[in-house]
């Protein structure tokens, strides 16, 4: 397994998508730069007060770009590149003579991707967004409080955890689709699921099995009096993502077992 992990890490570091995702962390200062172009009369709709503390900005600075699908799309391209693209190029088949348990191939890919995504997410939201907030305080001191929190940190930590689970969900979804589809088809399906769920998350009957339903409920429970509701929906979202990830991993292993060398 260690040899597989080293191999996958080596391939990850050589992919252009890896470096694109790394460089795109510079978007952490993109939002403050955008706000420099807004008139002084412009105000951010911040539900907990008139000025934004750092803990809120660390999440908002990520959520702004997340809502556009930037991060999901890039991680989908990276994941599909390590699955579907390798199958299409027949590189995937080089593993088979040397690996007794084919499930380890998928396990090593997901382990490396999740490790990278976790480190990337922590650096982006905790480190770089903190630097972005310092710039935010300089360019818009009228709407940046300069304080770490205004008492709403419980809500923002819950939402921060939720966005991490979302990233995990789409990595697993990209992996399983990458094992079943051509690269472009897999990426297009992930994009369709991401944007489609944003509009269809509240459909009767099926909404309770859609992660997006719990995500939106958690985000919209944005008052200090409903913090327990936010935590509940975030926990439900996490449970659904974990269950979905397990199911997709099992399906992925079965798919690999059916691939003819």
CA distance 248 to 252: 6
Between these two residues, 41 and 71, which has the higher pLDDT value? 71
Res. 261: pLDDT tops 60: no
Tens digit of pLDDT for each residue in 64-113?
889 999 999 999 999 998 888 777 776 666 666 566 676 777 888 899 99
- Report whether 167 contacts 63 (CB < 8 A): no
Buried b (16+ CB within 10 A) or exposed e, 168-206: bbbbbbbbbbbbebebeebbebbbebbeebeeebeeeee
Give the pTM. 0.91
Highest mean pLDDT among 138-142, 177-181, 257-261: 177-181
Provide the pLDDT confidence category of residue 146 given band limits of 50, 70 and 90.
confident
pLDDT class of 8 with cuts at 50, 70, 90: confident
pLDDT at 117: 96
Residue 125 pLDDT greater than 90, yes or no: yes
State the average pLDDT over residues 117-123.
96
Least confident of 106-110, 117-121, 179-183, 222-226: 222-226
Give pLDDT, residue 135.
87
pLDDT in tens, 160-208: 999 999 999 999 999 999 988 999 999 999 999 999 998 888 888 778 8
Backbone angles phi, psi at 221, to 5 degrees: -85, 55
Residue 150 has pLDDT above 90, yes or no: no
């Amino acid at each position: 397994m260690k040899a597989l992990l080293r191999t996958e890490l080596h391939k990850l570091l050589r992919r252009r998508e890896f470096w694109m995702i790394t460089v795109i962390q510079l978007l952490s200062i993109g939002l403050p730069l955008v706000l420099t172009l807004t008139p002084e009369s412009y105000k951010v709709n911040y539900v907990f007060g008139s000025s934004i503390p750092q803990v809120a900005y660390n999440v908002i600075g990520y959520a702004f770009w997340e809502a556009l699908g930037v991060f999901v799309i890039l991680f989908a391209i990276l994941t599909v590149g390590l699955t579907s693209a390798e199958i299409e190029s027949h590189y995937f088949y080089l593993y088979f003579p040397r690996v007794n348990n084919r499930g380890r191939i998928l396990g090593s890919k997901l382990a490396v991707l999740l490790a990278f995504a976790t480190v990337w997410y922590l650096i982006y939201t905790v480190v770089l967004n903190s630097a972005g907030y310092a710039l935010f305080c300089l360019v818009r001191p009228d709407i940046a409080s300069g304080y770490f929190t205004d008492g709403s940190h419980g809500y923002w930590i819950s939402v921060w955890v939720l966005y991490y689970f979302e990233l995990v969900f789409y990595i697993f979804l990209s992996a399983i689709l990458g094992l079943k589809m051509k690269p472009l088809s897999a990426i297009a399906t992930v994009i369709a699921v991401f944007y489609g769920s944003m509009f269809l998350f509240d459909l009767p009957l099926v909404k309770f099995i859609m992660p997006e339903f719990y995500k939106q409920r958690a985000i919209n429970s944005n008052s200090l009096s409903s913090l327990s509701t936010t935590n509940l929906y975030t926990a439900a979202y996490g449970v659904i993502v974990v269950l979905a990830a397990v199911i997709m991993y099992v399906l992925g292993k079965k798919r690999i077992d059916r691939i003819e060398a």
